[in-house]
Amino acid sequence: MPNAQIEVSEIHWLMEMFQTVDVGLVVIDQEYKIQVWNGFMENHSGLRPSQVREDDIFELFTELDEEWFRHKSEPVFKLKNRAFTIWEQRPYIFKFKNYRPITGSAEYMYQNATFIPLSDVTGVVQHICIIIYDVTDVAVNKLELEKANTLLGEQSRTDRLTNLNNRGHWEECLKREFKRLRRRGSKGSSLLMFDIDHFKKVNDGYGHSAGDAAIIHCANVLRANLRETDVAGRYGGEEYAVILTDTNAEDAKIFAERIRKAIEESVVKYEENEIRFTISLGIAEYSDSLANHTKWIEASDEALYQSKEGGRNQVSVYQHANE
């Protein structure tokens, strides 16, 4: 076979491979005009090579971040070094829709990309080739895994009945707040604990499901009154605890009274029953005299006990011995 025929044959299969390879191949010159556009790019953009050739890539694809793209390309032209980008850094370069059935949840195609310098016969880089890899499957799987882990993390910290923080997570938050106050060496936060008065009567009189409804109602009232910085949790059974950050005992008492009145004035409707109940509350402001976060809980619990002993449906504040 003559050499000319061999060369034509090689060019033919090379072009066929170029057009059918399952990655995007784009060649641009130093003026950022498209010189080569393979079948992958045509299929996903809907633009034929003849439609994009010699066009400015930024005018043709307005979603391209021009500043970023130039910053990425310039070293490839000047230094002849390859450059890479992955979907975690930038989800896509060309915003193509995702048509994959398995990863159909993705709105667009996630892409990795490689920027390759193309030297001419004199060794000067006049063009660069950008290879686009469709990594939607990998990206979606990783994002779903991260989402599942986040959900599991939230569930491990949440009380299922009330959706408040569970005791374990809430107590971890209290430890951190205690350490923060200890480092700062000043007062500033209060701990509020409360429970439902005569809760056994609710359970015995209306059943445990009605008791659950009462517990949920208290959580909803509490949640409706919280500030963003407060940390509320279900401490156990019908008992609740709230970290009131940057709140002295006097202000914490105003908050506690608001909760107490809201519960007292509300009605829990369960089946044919209208259930009324009250709560007792105890407050302990942080003090340097507290040895650890457990002592802070004990102080708040002691104030709660004072409310119980004083007739219930009231708020008591713990008095530190050195004050």
Cα–Cα distances (Å) from 218 to 116, 168, 263, 268, 316, in that order, read 63, 20, 7, 10, 19
Helix (H) or strand (E) segment spanning residue 85: strand 83-85
CB-CB contact of 40 with 132 (8 Å): yes
Instruction: State the Cα–Cα distance between residues 87 and 3, nearest whole angstrom.
Output: 44
Q: How many CA atoms does the CB half-sphere of 7 hold within 13 Å?
A: 3
Tell me, rounded to whole angstroms, the distance of Cα 153 from its chain centroid.
11
The CA angle 161-230-221, to the nearest 5 degrees, is 45
What positions carry a catalytic annotation?
238
Q: Are strands 239-244 and 190-196 parallel, antiparallel or unpaired?
A: antiparallel
Neighbours of 264 (CB within 10 A): 13
